Amino acid sequence: MTNIAAFKSYEDSPNYPENISELTPAQWIHYLMLLSRYNNQEISIQDFKVEWLAYLTRMSSFGASRMRVEEMINSEEYSLDGFVQHLDGVIEINTFTVTNNLPQYTWNSIRYTGPQDLCFNLSFGQFLTAYYVFQDYALTQNPIALKYLFAVLYSDGSPLYKRVEALEDIPNYVALSAYYFFKSVVSHIHENPVYVAGEDLPLYRVLKEAAKKSDVSNFGMEEALYDIAYQNGVTIDRDNLKNQNLYEVLRYVWFRIKAY
C-alpha cells in the first residue's frame, strides 16, 4: 500500500492499493468499469490512469485537482505499475487475478455467490460448462455469452436457466469480473503447479495430455479423462464425475497419467 498523506482528501484514507490483489469488490468493479470504457475507446489511457488514481485517492479528476493527480502519476511514489504496464510500446491494463475479487454480488435484491479463489470449490461439470462459455466469449465477444458465464459461476441456489434470465441485465463490466477471473484461473492451471491434497501437482500436464487426445476443443479434459479411465478397463459414471470437485478430478487424472 502506498501512503498518500500529502494528497489525501480527508483524514481517514491514508493508503491506496497498489495492485489488483489489494482491491476491494467495489474498487474492482470500478476498475472494470473504467477498463470497459477504455476498451470501448470512450477514454484514453491517460484518462484511465487519472480517473483510477483519483478514485483510489478520493480526489477529483477535474480542474486543478486533475493536474495534481497527473503530477502524482508522473512521480515514482505514485506509480500505477501494478495496474498499467507499458511493455515494448504496448499498453497493457492488468486483469490477472486468481483471487476472486468479487466473491458476492447482489442484483435486484438477490445475492449471488461466486467461486472461491482459483475456483477451488467448483465441480468438474461447472468448470467444463464455464470453460466452453468462456471460449465462446473470447472468440465472439458476445455479451450474451459473457453474462451466461457469470450465471454459471455465480449462484443463488436456483437452476442455471433461472440465473441466466435473472442476470441478463447486469452491467457488462460486472460480468467481466467473472471473465477475467476465470481467464486467470485457466492460465494459472496451464502454467503452474497447483497445491492439492498436501502436494504441488503439475496439473498442466493433464491439460497437455488432454489436448493430444481431443479433437473437440483445445482443453478436452472431459474427453481425455474418459479416455484415460477406459484404457485400463475402469468404468466411471459420467454424471457422478461431473459432480466431483474440479481439483479432485484433475488430481485423479494426473495420477492415472503417471501410472502409464
230 or 69, higher pLDDT: 69
User: Parallel, antiparallel, or unpaired: how do β-strands 104-107 and 2-3 relate?
Assistant: unpaired
Which residue type occupies 237?
A: D
pLDDT (0 to 100) of residue 138: 93
For the stretch 129-143, pLDDT in tens is: 998 899 899 999 999
What the block records as the C-alpha cell of 104 is: 458476492
Q: Which residues pair with 110 in a beta bridge?
A: 107
Q: C-alpha dihedral over 210, 215, 219, 225, to 10 degrees?
A: -40
Are 151 and 164 in contact by the 8 Å Cβ rule? The answer is yes
Single pTM value for the model: 0.85
**How many whole angstroms separate alpha carbon 100 and alpha carbon 103?**
6
For the stretch 7-52, pLDDT in tens is: 343 334 347 788 898 999 999 999 999 999 999 999 999 899 989 9
**How many whole angstroms separate alpha carbon 145 and alpha carbon 9?**
41
